[in-house]
Amino acid sequence: MSITVKGKIERKGLGPGTWALVGEDGETYELKNAPSELKKEGLKVSVKGTVRKDIMTFAMIGPVLEVQSFEVL
């Protein structure tokens, strides 16, 4: 099931580091398969993707959101 989340991109320094989307509601999503254009600290975006419940990561900062598409706001 796809969801759309609006929020801000943040770089989290846990382990090897990871990119996250902090939604307007405060929920933090770890980004999976994020294109390089999306990996910019402070970027305000709308991201469409699928929450993956079948994988775990080193960072474990929140649900993993597999990016399908995004729009810079």
pLDDT tens, 21-44?
Answer: 999 999 999 999 999 999 999 999
Residue 5, H or E segment: strand 2-12
Q: How far apart are CA 1 and CA 19, in angstroms?
A: 22
Count: domains in the chain: 1
For residue 40, the SS3 value is coil
Instruction: Please check the confidence at residue 6 and state whether its pLDDT lies above 80.
Output: yes
Torsion of CA 32, 35, 36, 40, to 10 degrees: -70
Question: Mean pLDDT over residues 44-65, rounded?
Answer: 92
For the entire predicted model, the pTM comes to 0.88
Our CA angle for 1, 28, 52, nearest 5°, is 30
Q: What is the pLDDT of residue 60?
A: 82
CATH number of the domain at 64, please. Answer: 2.40.50
Find residue 72's DSSP bridge partners. 45
